[in-house]
Amino acid sequence: MSDAPADDGRMRRGAALMASGTAVSRLLGLLRSMVLFAAIGATGQAADAFAVANKLPNVMYMLLVGGVLNAVLVPQVVRAYKSGAGQVYVDKLLTFGFVVLAGLTAVLTLAAPLLVRLYADAASPAQMDLAVTFAYWCVPQVFFYGVYALLGQVLNARSSFGPYMWAPVVNNVVSIVGFLVFIVAFGAVPESGYGTAQAWGTSQVVVLAGAATLGVMAQALVLFPALRAAGVRYRPRWGVRDAGLGQAGRVATWTLVGLAVGQLAYVVVSRVVSQAPGAADRATDVASNAAYDAAFLIFMLPHSLVTVSLATALFTRLAEQAHDGDSRAVRATLSYGMRVVGVFTVLAAAVLAVLAIPVTQLILPSATAQATDAVAQVVVAMVVGLPAFGAWSMCQRVYYAYEDTRSMVPVQVVMAIVVVLGALVGRVVLPATTWVVGVGVAMSVSYLVGSVVALRHLHQRLHGVDGGRVLRLHLRAVLAAVPATVVGLGLLLLLSWLLPAGFVTAAVKCLLVGLVMVLVYVKVLRALRVRELDDLLRPVVGRLSGVRPLRPLLRILTPAAPPAPEPEPDDAGAPARTPRRATSQPHYPLTPWAAWPDGGGGVPMVAEAPPGAAPLVPELPPAPRPPRTARSRPHYPPGHPLYRPSRPLSDWLGEQGDPGSFPGPDRGPDPGSEPGSDPQSGPWDDGRPSPGGPRTPGGPV
């Protein structure tokens, strides 16, 4: 018992360290994207060529390596350190992993021309040649992504969580510096003239692509000193004959199937969007691969910063309930999670739809007005599906809790089919300038279809998903978002008329319009008595309550206390006393009345009570019972008089720091928090390998 407080304190410190690393790396990842777009733009031949080449290592890593590492090697590392010969076993696994990564990276690098032509179909031969040149420099990132993942899992098994979460910060810093060197040396688009593929030479390619690869290399190598600090002395060892990889490999089969399905869909999408500039006659700044990546980065911002944390905060409870076979509790937690996530995603979708152009101007500060409009249209098409994306993310957590990735494959197939059909139909019926917009709409439809199919399957498994209550919550959230959208559009038009165009004006618009929309949304939800809003705002209000300038705003967001009930007059017309609360009832001593001085000499039995006092039964010693744990807690379905929702998210956030990166003690990394293990967590904007590189639209990678 004496070690519990120390363990709890260590867990809290580790959670805080990981949370801060995740926040810093994601903010730097956003800055990295802004600098990159300033250097080469979001549209044009060079931007599209680099987008295709730089996504290849992410795609190949996740398809061929990432699923195996997370589903096969990670459990082996955890088991190894629980055995007597743990370090020897881990040395063999690491050596085997490094050799496989090196051989695979060499093969993929040699196959770079084939990979580029698989994912791109540009009309310009110069653009294709430039993409192949970029790929030769970028594909080696596969090896360093794999090294980062292997060493990170060993560190996590040794309870050293901070380095794994802070290493992407090094990646982003190195990349930002490299991209700034490119801007200083060669200029920024469009003035530099490097928007076209013919203008590029060896120097420009080495600086840009070399900076990206050097950042990933630094991200992996920085973990070696951390490994020694954690007490791990790695030595190359050979021999994995009895490592148990054959049995563990069967666990990864369905994970790889799901990844392959998503990649097949993304191949079609990538080829369609890469054909758009060539098919648009005499049109400039046509949205293609780079514009798709920029729009998806904006789309994923609310999901990666908030929704992942909210969903992962409930994953530990879902896993416990699924392990206990308590389908009622899983159903209640799923319902609660979808409702709380829905309150946020509906607001985020409305805000991003209204502020699509100002937000795009912040992400792409050097883009032309035509390029900004092209990306903003794709953003609007994508954010329409954000609420459905949040529901699908919660359904994924249920599948992970049951360790049933096989049942997700049919859902992933349906989503992939929707995206492929949507992309191909859009290519036929839409002008080439809006082909990427059609892909965004197809993605939104796929998230809706996928969440409906998943909920239908979970309805059969859990004997219900509380669908009526979830649907009513989303309808009320949409009802609150309508006046917020109207007010936001009016204020945006007013600011556009009063202020000149520019980066500072875009920031002012985002700040003022977003704040007003949030206040209107919250006020309407308060009027509609949406209780899930309090669970969403409680962590934010608690963390910002110490900032004095924000207190007036927090008072608006915090619900007002209900008024005290008026005392009712008695029969004579005089005002009566306010009814006593339970805590104000008189308390009598536990000594029996007979033990009082006038009660008969202290006989240990109940005698006649004093006038006006209720009789008191002597206190008996309580019957012993085992301590109640989270798993032995009784669960009641929604609607039951004793039903209580899951613990407030503020409790989870308070215990776990950033639950999106630390799911809780004694359970190891959450499948949704590992790079690539949650295919819907979107492209990591913090330097870690992305699930599907850029997002596989409409389905898990």
- HEC secondary structure over 254-285: HHHHHHHHHHHHHHHHHHHHHCHHHHCCCCCC
- What Cα–Cα distance (Å) separates residue 354 from each residue in 17, 508, 548? 35, 14, 30
Separation CA 272–CA 120 (nearest Å): 8
pTM above 0.95, yes or no: no
Neighbours of 401 (CB within 10 A): 23
Cβ-Cβ contacts under 8 Å for 175 (sequence gap 6 or more) = 32, 36, 211, 212, 214, 215, 687
- Is the predicted pLDDT of residue 78 greater than 80, yes or no? no
CA 346, 350, 351, 357 torsion-angle sign: positive
pLDDT of residue 349: 95
Residues 512-567 pLDDT 10s: 999 999 999 999 998 998 888 887 777 665 555 555 666 666 566 666 554 444 44
Q: How far apart are CA 324 and CA 319, in angstroms?
A: 9
pLDDT confidence of residue 554: 59
Least confident of 75-84, 210-219, 368-377: 75-84
**For residue range 489-498, what is the model confidence (pLDDT) as tens digits?**
999 999 999 8
| 503-527 and 532-544 helices, crossing angle to 10° | 130
pLDDT on residue 681: 36
Amino acid at 623: A
Residue 140 pLDDT class (50, 70, 90 cuts): very high
Burial of 228 (0-12, 13-18, 19+ CB in 10 A): exposed
The predicted-structure confidence for 387-408, as pLDDT tens digits, reads as follows 999 999 999 888 888 877 788 8
pLDDT digits (tens, 9 = 90+) for 229-245: 877 777 777 765 555 55
Tokens representing 602 are 């202290």
DSSP 8-class letter at 569? B
Q: Rounded CA gap, 518 and 88, in Å?
A: 55
**Angle subtended at Cα 222 by Cα 228 and Cα 240, rounded to the nearest 5 degrees:** 60
Q: Would you list the DSSP string of 496-534? A: HHHS-SSHHHHHHHHHHHHHHHHHHHHHHHHHTT-THHH
According to the per-residue pLDDT averaged within each range, which of 57-66, 251-260, 355-364, 568-577 is highest? 355-364
pLDDT for the residue numbered 304 = 78
Is the pLDDT confidence value at 1 over 50? no
Residue 501: is its pLDDT beyond 70? yes
Per-residue model confidence (pLDDT) at position 173: 94
SS3 sequence, 165-208? HHHHHHHHHHHHHHHHHHHHHHCCCCCCCCCCHHHCCHHHHHHH
Can you tell me whether residue 575 is helix, strand or coil? strand
Strand partners, 575: 569
The closest of 315, 375, 363, 470 to 32, measured between CA atoms, is: 363
Quote the CA–CA distance of 423 and 425 in Å, as a whole number: 6
**257-to-217, 454, 507 alpha-carbon distances in Å:** 29, 17, 43
Report the distance separating Cα 653 and Cα 372, nearest Å. Answer: 37
